[in-house]
A and B are shown apart, each in its own frame.
Chain A
Amino acid sequence: MRTSQSRFVQAVFCLVLLAAVMSPAQIMPWNKIQAPPLPAFTPPQPTRVQLPNGMVIFLQPDHELPLISATARIRGGSVNEPANKTGLADLYGDVWRTGGTKTKTGDQMDDFLEARAAKIETDNQPDSTAISLDCLKGDFDVVFEMFLDLLHNPEFRQDKLELAQDQMYTGIARRNDRVNTIVHRESRIIAYGKDNPYARVPEYTTVAAVTRQDLVNWHQQYVHPNNIIFGITGDFDPKAMQAKLEQAFGSWPKGPEAKLPDVKFTDPKPGLYFIRKTDVNQSTIAMLDLGPERSSPDYYALTVMNEIFGGGFASRLFSNIRSKMGLAYNVGGGVGFGWDRPGLTNIEMQTKSASTVEGIQALDKEIDNLHQNAATPEELKRAKDDILNSFIFQFDTPEKVLHEKMGYEFYHYPLDFLERYRAGVEKVTADDVTRVARKYIQKDRLAVLVLGSDEQFGTPLSSIGPVQNVDIAIPPPPAGLMGPGGE
């Protein structure tokens, strides 16, 4: 009795065991797989410290690798430069580092840093400049000392200014060689206007007009602690590092506040714009308008709309114009946002010369379709899933979190903007998508830029409307500007 019962129990036990082993061991069709919930994850938040002199510091320790990196972002960028010296901020962003300090040339700094596989670099953007460092943690003290020397005592040596100017002249001479360079530049000019500081282009004369004194003045005007957001991440003890930074920056006196210029934004003039380039067999089409600021209440609905319309593999533009029609390799785009200014809305594709007009019509049709056929429940779900399920990748490393927070601080956004974004996206409805599509993408408002070789077009552009030619000829350099053999 005892034996048989135990055998029975054993048999049942075996069956249960077998079932337990078997069921997860099956191969499931993709749509039957149930993912377990994602483990709870709270990304490490940087510590924010504001010094009495106004400088904001974020500390984000990360002990995984023996490295330390830091960036100081400083208010004031190329939009602040005078129009007749366009290129000044670019030259400053280069020569600040290459020109060295009062006591060390840039070349001596190069030797010192490269021997330690360390970097100190400077850079510029439309609204800011930056100085950064990156080193093995054991070298931090000596590299940071050099960083502070460059921050406080830059020399902007003349020979490095000339070197940087020569490099900018090369960029100007070559700016019509590549399709993407041309389209990117001219798109901004058409959308923002050629005199708008966010679209201005350096010319030989404006670059040549910049002097060493301009760089010295720029530094004096903008590099003050109250204009700086400093972020540091890596393998350090946060308390000790905070003390070190307070010691380094605490006694630095405040200076004048940097202010962005008051820029007027006017809508682009709708119509067809054409750039002739004869050495291509493919046209680039860019449909352009100004977009809203990121702080707009429509931001959430627009990101969902962008996902449905032109973002990712399953979007309408990709599926219909690339996969279904085979008309393009590159196709996509949507409404663009700026942090503190109108963004650049851009719907773009590249197609063989002979199908240029067909390409424009295909994009037009997709815009009509977006207005008339609202997002289906599947499209809406897919778009939100795309955004929300990949949300973790916004903050999966301490460094990403640090840069996110520094961005919010710079543009005066709430530091929990990312969390609000998630909640905002969840609430978006199909009606919201249709409403913002009709509001922000309107065919009769769009400036349509076409670059291509019109001899190969087949159907001429003029068949769909009046065409305005865009002249991209490069104004020649003034006599004697460039070295031996120069034009």
Chain B
Amino acid sequence: MKRCFARFFGLLLLAAALPLPAQDLSSYEKHVSVKTLPNGLTVVLWRRPEAPVFSFFTLVDTGSAQDPRNETGLAHMMEHMAFKGTPDIGTTDYAAEKPALEKVEQTYAAYESERVKRTGQDPQKLEQLKKEWQGAIAAADKYVIKNQFGEIVESHGGVGMNAFTNWDETAYLYSMPSNEIELWAALESGRMLHPVMREFYKERSVVMEERRMRTDSNPTGRLFEQFLGTAFMANPYHRPTIGYPSDLQSFSATDAADFFKRYYVPSNMVIGLVGDLDPDKVFPVIERYFGQIPTAPKPVESFTDEPPQNSVRQVTLHDPAQPIYLEGYHRPSYLAPDDVVYDAITDILSNGRTSRLYRSLVRDKKIAAAAAGFTGLPGIKYGHLFAFYAIPLPGHTNAEMQKAFREETEKLKTQDVTDEELQMFKTRTKADLIRGLASNEGLAQQLATYQMRYGDWRELFRYLNRVDNVTKADIRRVSNQVFTDNNRTVGVIETQMASAQPGAPASKGGE
């Protein structure tokens, strides 16, 4: 009863806050069913019968922040491996493939132990061990049916098949016609139950190519890697999700399998499902297939809180690219009571042509082509950064950007924002929430994310109450806390033409 009342009261608040009749919102809530299976897996389902399709979003509460020492890139590698199939998918004969894959691991371990010897390495032996390892790979490869997992999804009408890894989490997603829900349950439970680490070392090379594309050969990628490595020293946010080259060239399929066993457990996952799905029919199917995954406790996350910065930090890249300015300030995790105040600051500084940074740096001072502030760098789970960036106009310098940002942060600290600015933030947040309901894909992601981060998908709507409570004094108070010199890290690209710089700044990156 109490619960019912609280829910009703919540809806009343929402109704007052939104330009919407109350029945619209209560009808939104009626679309949703939540189920936690006995093994700990939570599924949030939003029934939307408009068209016979559905989208899903599986969120694993593990990201690159959980990469073991010397194994950076492993969480992301695991995401790639989740497309390689199972004992039933991707192989002509798993009984024969299994020992062949074990042989790959044995030969790799032998090769690695010789490769890392600091003294007494025998080049001939190393070459021999490498040959044996590559021979074992070729033997195991004979059983592989390439990309069969993806082929099944796509030939049954699946679209938008993708996955991503960031510092906080790993996610899997696609959309399908709604009559394929049982096949979906079989495929998705299968890869969370027993992924097979086939083609692992080929895939490691693919990830090295991904690193070359995103980081080494991309000026902003280079800047971000250096910037985060400087802003964070203790928290794993200082390491790149894609991984350092030497780690990408050493970790093994056995390492990935261990990582999977530890973190891919049902209590560590939430699935958001949105579409033409009847919960009374779909939940039994989900229970049957996903219920096979063994129960395990949610892995304990141990992490280091970033200590107070207490110093100004700066990283400067002399790079052939044009100048870019970036600065960041440490702030607490998303669970901090002031989280929503940072959202207000972001909106007032950065949202659209009425925003302070656009009007100041772009429109009036005419020194930047774009300028904005944003929060959530590089994640939200742990203490992270509120950041600013600017793209200087030709002929203008990073120093001018920094000076203009100082004026804006000082203004936030010493003067209240206007009533209009605060109201704009509140109105836009509500409208954006409604717009966010429009796509199945986006809604599935929101439901899974809010359920995972707050233990209740309804926080997606309750968030509006927090938005309504933000005051001008909150914005001034938080700005005074966070925008201080000793809490700042600056990252810049200063242009230095390639001719003056023989050889790439990027690692050559062998295999």
Interface stretch among A140-148, A261-269, A385-393? A385-393
Question: Is there an interface contact between B506 and A482, defined as CB atoms closer than 8 Å?
Answer: no
- Which one of A98, A138, A456, A477 lies within 8 Å of B508 (CB-CB)? A456
CB within 8 Å for A28 and B395 given contacts A281-B506, A326-B206? no
Mark out the residues of chain A between 313 and 330 whose CB falls within 8 Å of any chain B CB in the assembled complex: 313-314, 318-320, 322-330
Complex interface: stretch among A164-172, A338-346, A365-373? A164-172
Q: CB within 8 A of B154: which of A278, A328, A390?
A: A390
Binary contact readout A112-150 vs B (1 if CB under 8 angstroms, 0 otherwise) = 001111000000000000000000101000000000000
For the complex, is A486 an interface residue (Cβ under 8 Å from B)?
Answer: yes
- Inter-chain CA distance A282–B423, complex, in Å, is 48
Separation of A463 and B393 alpha carbons in the complex (Å): 42
The B154-212 residues at the A interface (CB cut-off 8 A) are: 154-159, 161, 175, 177-180, 182-183, 186-187, 190, 199, 201-210, 212
Contact assessment for A66 and B322 in the assembled complex, using a CB-CB cutoff below 8 Å:
no
Stretch at the interface among A9-17, A32-40, A187-195, A415-423: A32-40
How many Å lie between the Cα of A177 and that of B493 in the bound state? 12
Please tell me if A1 contacts chain B, counting CB pairs below 8 Å: no
Kindly list chain B residues whose C-beta atoms are within 8 Å of the C-beta of A350. Answer: 209, 212-213
Q: Using a CB-CB cutoff of 8 Å, which residues 338-396 of chain A contact chain B?
A: 350-354, 381-382, 385-386, 389-393, 396
Q: Which residues of A contact B20 (CB under 8 A)?
A: 66
Tell me which residues from 61 to 103 in chain B have a Cβ below 8 Å from any Cβ of chain A: 83, 88-89
Q: Are A41 and B199 in contact (CB under 8 A)?
A: no
Closest Cβ–Cβ distance, residue B43 to chain A (whole Å): 17
- Complex CA gap A277/B499 in Å reads 10
B280 at the interface (CB under 8 A from A): no
**Distance, CA A432 to CA B151, complexed state (A):** 22
Check if A453 is an interface residue, CB within 8 A of chain B.
Answer: yes
Cα separation A325 to B408 with both chains bound (whole Å): 52
With A38-B177, A111-B354: A486-B395 Cβ-Cβ less than 8 Å: yes
Q: Mark A13-54, 1 if CB is under 8 A from B, else 0.
A: 000000000000111111001011111010100000000000
Report the bound CA distance from A381 to B393 in whole Å.
Answer: 53
Tell me how far the C-beta of A397 lies from the nearest C-beta in chain B, rounded to whole angstroms: 7
The answer to whether B19 touches A352 (Cβ under 8 A) is no
Contact present for A66 and B369 (CB under 8 Å): no
Q: How far is the CB of A275 from chain B (nearest CB, A)?
A: 13
- The answer to whether A352 touches B393, judged by C-beta atoms less than 8 angstroms apart, is no
Contacts of B301 in A (CB 8 A): none
Most A CB within 10 A of own CB, among B20, B392, B394: B394
Q: Please state if B151 and A27 are interface contacts (CB–CB under 8 Å).
A: no
Report how far A386 CA is from B89 CA in the complex, Å. Answer: 18
Which of B207, B351, B434, B502 lies in contact with A67, CB distance below 8 A? Answer: B434
If A25-B288, A115-B424, A483-B395 touch, whether A280 touches B216 (CB-CB below 8 Å) is yes
Residue numbers in B under 8 Å from A65 (CB-CB): 434-435, 437-438
With A30-B88, A116-B427 as known contacts, state yes or no: A279 contacts B506, CB within 8 Å. Answer: yes
Flag whether B411 is at the interface (Cβ < 8 A).
no
Q: Which residues of B contact A327 (CB under 8 A)?
A: 205, 209
Known: A114-B352, A166-B366, A312-B150. A483 touches B212 (CB 8 A): no
Per the bound structure, the CA–CA distance linking A381 and B392 in Å amounts to 52
Tell yes or no: B507 within 8 A of A by CB.
yes
CB-CB under 8 A from B397, the residues of chain A are 485
Q: Does A179 contact B (CB under 8 A)?
A: yes
List of B residues within 8 angstroms of A136 by Cβ? 19, 431, 434
Contacting pair A36 B179 (CB below 8 A): yes
The interface residues of chain A lying within 8 Å CB-to-CB of B442 are: none
A64 to B50, CA, bound (A): 9
Q: Determine if A444 is an interface residue (Cβ-Cβ < 8 Å).
A: no
**A314-B151 in contact (CB<8A):** yes
Nearest A residue to B510, CB-CB: A354
Q: Which chain B residue has the least Cβ–Cβ distance from A159? A: B363
B394 touches A396 (CB 8 A): no
In the complex where A33-B182, A319-B147 touch, is A178 in contact with B362 (Cβ < 8 A)?
no
Would B150 and A110 count as touching, CB distance under 8 A? no
Considering the chains assembled together, what is the distance between the CA atoms of A263 and B428 in angstroms?
45
Query: How distant is A7 from chain B, measured CB to nearest CB, in Å?
Result: 30
C-alpha spacing A26/B423, complex, angstroms: 55
- The answer, among B158, B204, B498, for a CB contact under 8 Å with A390, is B158
Q: Is the beta-carbon distance between B507 and A281 smaller than 8 angstroms?
A: yes
Neighbouring B residues of A237 by C-beta, 8 Å: none
Chain B residue numbers with a CB within 8 Å of A322 are: 206
Q: Does A389 contact B53, Cβ atoms closer than 8 Å? A: no
In the complex, what's the smallest C-beta–C-beta distance from B65 to chain A, in angstroms? 23
Measured between beta carbons, the chain B residues less than 8 angstroms from A30 are 88-89, 152, 183, 186-187, 190
Kindly provide the distance from the CB of A56 to the nearest chain B CB, expressed in whole angstroms: 25
B52 touches A115 (CB 8 A): no
- Let me know if B209 and A329 touch, CB within 8 A: yes
Inter-subunit contact B199/A170 (CB<8 Å):
no
Q: Judge whether A430 is part of the interface by a CB distance below 8 angstroms.
A: no
Closest to B28 in A: A65
- Please tell me if the beta carbons of A483 and B366 are within 8 angstroms of each other in the complex: yes
- Our pick among B88, B201, B366 for the contact of A163 (Cβ within 8 Å) is B366
Question: B289 interface residue, CB < 8 Å from A?
Answer: yes
Tell me the nearest residue of chain A to B210, going by C-beta: A329
Q: CB-CB < 8 A to B148: which residues of A?
A: 314
Cα A386 to Cα B434 in complex, Å, equals: 32
Chain A residue at minimum C-beta to C-beta distance from B151: A314
**CB neighbours of A282 from chain B (8 A):** 209, 212-213, 216-217
Residue of B nearest to A481 (CB): B394
Q: Is the CB of A170 within 8 A of B391?
A: yes
Q: Which B478-511 residues have C-beta < 8 A from chain A?
A: 498, 501-510
User: Which of B177, B187, B292, B321 is A392 in contact with, Cβ under 8 Å?
Assistant: B177
User: For the complex, is B51 an interface residue (Cβ under 8 Å from A)?
Assistant: yes
Contacts of A33 in B (CB 8 A): 182-183, 186
Across the A-B interface, give the 8 residue pairs with the lowest CB-CB distance, nearest first. A313-B150, A389-B157, A117-B431, A326-B205, A314-B151, A486-B395, A280-B217, A282-B212
Q: List 5 A-B contacts (CB under 8 A).
A: A30-B186, A38-B52, A136-B19, A279-B321, A396-B53
Residues of A within 8 A of B (CB): 25-30, 33, 35-39, 41, 43, 64-67, 98, 106-107, 110-111, 114-117, 136, 138, 163, 166-167, 169-171, 173-174, 177-179, 277-282, 312-314, 318-320, 322-330, 350-354, 381-382, 385-386, 389-393, 396-397, 453, 455-456, 477, 482-487
User: Known contacts A170-B391, A396-B53; can you find 11 more A-B pairs with CB under 8 A?
Assistant: A67-B435, A110-B354, A117-B428, A166-B393, A167-B393, A174-B321, A278-B502, A314-B146, A397-B439, A453-B504, A482-B393
